[in-house]
Amino acid sequence: MTDASGSVADPFALAADWLPGPVPRTMTLSTVGTDGYPAARTVLLSRFDGRRFHFHTDSRSRKAAELAAVPRATITLVWPEEARQLVVTGDVAQVTDLEARLAYAERTPYLQVLAWVNDAEAAQLAADARRARWAAFAEERGDQPLRPPSTWVGYAIDPVRMVFWNGDTEGPSNRVAFERTADGGWSSWSWPG
């Protein structure tokens, strides 16, 4: 996690190095619940733009309500096969409508339909009724390209802290934490693995 001179790498460059390949990938999104307790769920990382980490949801969701109340979150990305973990904490803001529409267009057809059909009403239905609702929606739309529903919303996390953990089966693991400084730079230190 350092460059050739032994200096700690830029956390954004390191994140970009760790995130090659197809996006979206799953991550745990942790927010402050409306009851004051932590709330966590698995979501898709829609995009890393070199500075912010994007994800999308339904504007009527519990996470959207939590982010409206406290616009801060932590995401955790794990690469078990490489013994790596990235934890990013930061301030959350809605992305532009254009960014949200572009992210929707990049989703698989399954995930596009899911944004339309998987709502609170459907969650109350029995499994067979949910499948029937899905099939009816698919039949009604046919092969027409989908646009995002009006409830589709995107968020981006602007990091204030990034913690990179690298495991080692033959020695101690390595954890490097970066914290945003008042001047917009980064301070860093090593934590125990």
40: left (phi over 0), alpha (psi -120 to 50) or beta: beta
Average pLDDT over every residue of 7-29: 82
For residue 73, the SS3 value is strand
- Is the pLDDT score of 176 beyond 90? yes
What are the pLDDT digits (tens) for 119-169? 888 888 899 998 999 889 888 887 788 899 999 999 999 999 999 999 887
Separation CA 94–CA 100 (nearest Å):
9
Q: Categorize the per-residue pLDDT at 4 as very low, low, confident or very high, splitting at 50, 70 and 90.
A: very low
Establish if 19 belongs to a structural domain.
Answer: yes
Total domains present in the chain? 1
Establish if 126 belongs to a structural domain.
Answer: no
Distances (CA, A) of 177 to 163, 166, 183: 4, 12, 18
184 compared with 162, residue with greater pLDDT: 162
Establish if 95 belongs to a structural domain.
Answer: yes
Q: Give the structural domain span for 94.
A: 11-107+149-191
Number of residues in the chain: 193
Separation CA 116–CA 107 (nearest Å):
13
For residue 31, the SS3 value is strand
Task: Give percent above pLDDT 70 in the chain.
Answer: 93
Separation CA 162–CA 179 (nearest Å):
7
Q: Categorize the per-residue pLDDT at 20 as very low, low, confident or very high, splitting at 50, 70 and 90.
A: confident
What are the pLDDT digits (tens) for 65-89? 999 999 999 999 999 888 899 999 9
Separation CA 49–CA 34 (nearest Å):
29
Establish if 137 belongs to a structural domain.
Answer: no
Establish if 133 belongs to a structural domain.
Answer: no
Torsion of Cα atoms, 33 then 37 then 41 then 44, to 10°: 50
Establish if 132 belongs to a structural domain.
Answer: no
Establish if 124 belongs to a structural domain.
Answer: no
- Is the pLDDT score of 192 beyond 90? no
What are the pLDDT digits (tens) for 54-65? 999 999 999 999
Output the pLDDT for position 6.
Answer: 41
End-to-end Cα distance, the chain: 14
- Is the pLDDT score of 43 beyond 90? yes
Residue 97 sits in a domain of what CATH number?
Answer: 2.30.110.10
Establish if 168 belongs to a structural domain.
Answer: yes
Task: Give percent above pLDDT 90 in the chain.
Answer: 62
Output the pLDDT for position 36.
Answer: 94
